[in-house]
Amino acid sequence: MKKKVLSVILASTMAFSLIACGGEAAAPAPAAEEPAAEEAEEPAAEEEAPAEEEAAEEEAAEEEATEEEAPAASGELINVGFAQVGHESDWRTASTKSCQDVFSEANGYNLSFVDCDNDSAAQLEAVRSFIEQDVDYIIIDPIVSTGWDTVLGECEDAGIPVVVIDRTIDDSDKYVSWVGSDFLTEGKAAGEWLKAYAEKKGISEINALIIQGTTGSSAQIGRTDGFSEVAEREGWTILDKQTGDFTEAGGQEVMESFCKSYEGKFNVVVCENDNEAFGAMTAMDNAGVSYGPDGDVILISYDACTAGLKEVQAGKITADFECNPLAAPTVEKVIQTLQSGGTPEAQILVPDNWYALKDQIVDFSVDGNAQSMTEVTDAVIEAQY
Ligand code: GZL
């Protein structure tokens, strides 16, 4: 039940209770014809008024408190609308499952889930449909980081709090909280790891190709900017960067083109998610390019999903920089804080880890902060998402 429905009922009750106690109130729904009340004796009515008014005030205060009570407290499900990016990657699958597991009916939620299939217009439409449905909360994982202020204003006007998960919205602050990873740090970590690893391997020249994520997504922007910042400082050459749209097909298509255009000129490939790396591996296999710790090309990836870590263990991906997809439990804490009338933190970071095989683990820092790496083992893979 929407809180608004609850408050209308309460308001009517209050109206009835206020009228019953002689207070002024908006006319409630028409009651059934009442038999004409006997004339009350003036003095008695006046003598009782202060006590009745006090009772009304107490009742109104109680009902006011009830009005703020979360729908769940009344045994009703909390209605949540979730506009998800799409189904483009293993990471996305894990993110969707996490949200559906957390916002289940058993946990007290009614989840309206829309897979926006990487279509920004469809995502705006999904959010507007949640406003129409008058849900209690809206969760958005924004495909791209701009174009949001108008629709978030509509959510605000409708009195529906918005929580942003994973990617960021950069052109509006009309939402309550953002829960996700630090993409810029992920990109810097990949760059600083490569610097330390190249030094260990005696590689003095870096000629890199980048297969980017969905253009304009904060994950793509952060990872590209973070890695490029280190590349520029170290004097590396970034031969080219093109988007693979976070998909395996996209990664393969871009890598096929790179293998033709930069044959024999590159020694590093950076894929901005594991599914792109899988596609790049197929393209390099087909082009006869060797990659991984024992190959000619260092292959760097992001996400560190289970399938990605298996490729690290197989000596294909040289290092994998995680982006944790399991933010839903933290988003639920934000919603529960709102339910109880609290104020959640505006930004909540979920922790990420960096993965490699033992021989590819090196010491490095990001912005002066020493980083630890996790060795990929069967147990680590088993525990991954
Ligand atoms: C990152 C997330 C990205 C993943 C991709 O937080 O938005 O989108 O890195 C996914 O796998 O498609």
User: pLDDT tens-digit profile of 287-337?
Assistant: 999 999 999 999 999 999 999 999 999 999 999 999 999 999 999 999 999
State whether the beta carbon of 223 lies less than 6 angstroms from ligand 1: no
Distance between CA atoms of 231 and 327, rounded to whole angstroms?
A: 30
Provide CB contacts within 8 A for 258, sequence distance 6+.
Answer: 209, 211, 239, 240, 242, 266, 269, 283
Query: How many angstroms is it from 352 CA to the middle of ligand 1?
Result: 13
Distance between CA atoms of 256 and 282, rounded to whole angstroms?
A: 9
State whether the beta carbon of 126 lies less than 6 angstroms from ligand 1: no
Sign of CA dihedral 270, 272, 276, 278: positive
Confidence of residue 64 (pLDDT cuts 50, 70, 90): low
Distance between CA atoms of 266 and 318, rounded to whole angstroms?
A: 15
Confidence of residue 26 (pLDDT cuts 50, 70, 90): very low
Q: What is the pLDDT of residues 195-224, one digit of tens each?
A: 999 999 999 999 999 999 999 999 999 999
State whether the beta carbon of 89 lies less than 6 angstroms from ligand 1: yes
Distance between CA atoms of 168 and 315, rounded to whole angstroms?
A: 33
State whether the beta carbon of 88 lies less than 6 angstroms from ligand 1: yes
Helices 90-102 and 274-287, packing angle to 10 deg = 160
Sign of CA dihedral 274, 275, 279, 282: positive
Residue of 88, 91, 223, 227 with the most ligand 1 atoms within 8 Å of its CB, for mutation: 91
Predicted confidence (pLDDT) at residue 150 exceeds the cutoff of 90: yes
Residue ranges in 302-344 assigned as alpha helix (H): 306-313, 328-339
Nearest CA to ligand 1 atom 2: 219
Predicted confidence (pLDDT) at residue 57 exceeds the cutoff of 90: no
State whether the beta carbon of 91 lies less than 6 angstroms from ligand 1: yes
Report how far apart, in Å, the C-alpha atoms of 193 and of each of 20, 57, 98, 148, 373 are. 73, 65, 30, 35, 10
pTM: 0.82
State whether residue 365 is helix, strand or coil. Answer: strand
Predicted confidence (pLDDT) at residue 4 exceeds the cutoff of 60: no
Query: How many angstroms is it from 194 CA to the middle of ligand 1?
Result: 21
Query: How many angstroms is it from 95 CA to the middle of ligand 1?
Result: 9
State whether residue 227 is helix, strand or coil. Answer: helix
Confidence of residue 240 (pLDDT cuts 50, 70, 90): very high
- 213 in Cβ contact with 246 (< 8 Å): yes
The number of the ligand 1 atom at minimal distance from the alpha carbon of 90 is 11
Which residues in the chain belong to E strands, given as ranges?
A: 78-84, 109-115, 137-140, 162-165, 177-180, 207-212, 237-243, 268-271, 298-303, 319-322, 347-349, 354-356, 364-366, 369-371, 373-375
Query: How many angstroms is it from 273 CA to the middle of ligand 1?
Result: 7
Confidence of residue 75 (pLDDT cuts 50, 70, 90): confident
Predicted confidence (pLDDT) at residue 101 exceeds the cutoff of 80: yes
Nearest CA to ligand 1 atom 6: 166
Residue of 92, 317, 384 with the most ligand 1 atoms within 8 Å of its CB, for mutation: 92
The number of the ligand 1 atom at minimal distance from the alpha carbon of 303 is 9
State whether the beta carbon of 219 lies less than 6 angstroms from ligand 1: yes
Query: How many angstroms is it from 214 CA to the middle of ligand 1?
Result: 9
> Residue 162 forms beta bridges with which residues?
138
Residue of 303, 322, 350 with the most ligand 1 atoms within 8 Å of its CB, for mutation: 303
Residue 20 has what pLDDT? 34
- 245 in Cβ contact with 88 (< 8 Å): yes
Residue of 90, 273, 324 with the most ligand 1 atoms within 8 Å of its CB, for mutation: 273
Helices 218-234 and 183-201, packing angle to 10 deg = 30
Residue 70 has what pLDDT? 47
The number of the ligand 1 atom at minimal distance from the alpha carbon of 180 is 6
User: Mean pLDDT, the chain, as a whole number?
Assistant: 87
State whether the beta carbon of 321 lies less than 6 angstroms from ligand 1: no
Query: How many angstroms is it from 92 CA to the middle of ligand 1?
Result: 6
Predicted confidence (pLDDT) at residue 27 exceeds the cutoff of 60: no
Residue of 141, 217, 221, 246 with the most ligand 1 atoms within 8 Å of its CB, for mutation: 246
Nearest Cα residue to 126 out of 109, 106, 110, 143:
143
Predicted confidence (pLDDT) at residue 29 exceeds the cutoff of 60: no
What is the arithmetic mean of pLDDT over 83-87?
Answer: 98
Distance between CA atoms of 360 and 215, rounded to whole angstroms?
A: 30
